[in-house]
Structure 1
Amino acid sequence: MTPITEVEGRRLALSNLDKVLYPATGFTKGEVLHYYATVAEVLLPHLRERPVSFLRYPDGPDGQLFFTKNVPPGTPDWVATAEVRRSEGPARMVLVQDLPSLMWAANLVTEFHTHQWLAPTPDEADRLVFDLDPGPPATIVHCCEVALWLRERLAADGLVAYAKTSGSKGLHLLAAVRGSSSDQVSDYAKRLAVEAERAMPELVLHRMTRSLRPGKVFVDWSQNAGRKTTAAPYTLRARAEPTVSAPVTWAEVEGCGAPEGLAFQAGDVRARVSEFGDLLAPLFDAEGAGVLP
């Protein structure tokens, strides 16, 4: 029998709580739900008003993985949604606005992916993102070197960068922006990726060509496009172990000497939040948002 629980006045059916989703560690679906409940205070601000795409893995990372962008069948009528313009026409997507909708979505077993704009203002980007993806034998250690270069380059244009792990192999950089469209932010990010490649040609690549990737860090600027999404801060990832896209300090980036030095799992995050709070909270300060040159 599927247990029913009440979350802030909303009744939820939470299924298969004992199902092991991460066989390498024995991490269960119940633990997935518990993780999202315990980090809701820092996760929810990064989801609110952002149409969410779900990467679902109901049988664990070794099972079927599929993206859900449209509102899934059976979505409760109290879950907020927003109409989103796409090239193929308008569509409706989920907005995770509160703890009940977060737990409902987490019960689907999901990674949370968000756009770099808010539903009320889809024509204006409020985030700039770089996804630093290492091609083996390059690792996150090399991503950190590139991140430090990009931090200084962004600072030269008045933009303040913050870092988080991807929860996979690499690193994400984010900055708050205002007054620009997604196309303008994407063009700017591409220019900086090209500059980074010119400054560090043996390490950096700005093109997606996979044959050029081994031993280099691909600076993916394209996730700033209006249709693209990036793994949200604090989301679990569909990896062998329950890794998290975790915010990190610049001191941690500067001191990263081994790949495992910036690898965080669900069990690590609560203590980090207690110690640091939300390291990405400054992204919500409208006065601190930069204007592209």
Structure 2
Amino acid sequence: MLLEATAIGDGMDSGRAKRRAQVTDSVEAIASPDFGLILSIEQEGAELPRMGYVRKRVAQWLATLDWEHERPLAEKNANHELLPQHLDKADDWRFSFRAWPRMQAHRGERAPTVVAGPSDGGVFDHGGRLKHALEKKAKKYGATAEPIVIAVALSGMAIGREDVATALFGPTIGVAQPDGNVRTSDRRGDGLWSSSGSPRNTQIAGVLVFGEDLQPWSITRQSPELWLHPEPDTPIPEVPWDQVRLIGAAVVHKRGTFDPSGLFDLPGWPDTRPHGDWPGNPFEEQP
């Protein structure tokens, strides 16, 4: 298997991206077995905020929520604007937190606290940017005897599976129903792997997506997802990563066996704390 790597940032300067990543990692330190958090940054300061009291207040707010009450409401209406919200601030930063009740099967699991974000209210074509980066890599290769996988790190980007699916297969097509609802019937077919219903870039057998910032203090919880080409020239052999396929217009996820916490000799979940508590620089040159 041949592995090609690339990284995509959100266009912000490195200092700002680092501060946002550190804020996210700070929020990750909140233990939340029943709820994931959708994090939005409503106002952004020039310096890293002091997050200790924010974490405490958010944890206290989460403790007041009733999963038994909130989960049926979330299943009935997928609009995240209707989820319970907590507003908070630290220094000159302002935050919005929305609580997403986890599925019954995932309550109490070792899972990320921040399930979406941080966003800042803007509208971004993440799928288009990802497709552009992957197309540049794909053009470098013709047919090979080995399957090619492009590993992509998404730095500072609030990107979800639908953004990745759009980059690989094109956006969904909605069909209006007589009752006024819109049903998703198919995908437009203008992604990395499809063009007007025909497969393309079949030499790229998979795309390995790291959906969070890769940082020394968070690497033990980074489990990438391998998106599989439906008709590759050479299939990928069995690998331990989570796998994602497109069946019809639906994204289907299969959990793998890869456990990053057991791969590195570094502090791991649930002991991982924000970078300020990291025990030294793990990459500093040793005498």
TM-score, with structure 2 as normaliser:
0.27
TM-score, with structure 1 as normaliser:
0.26
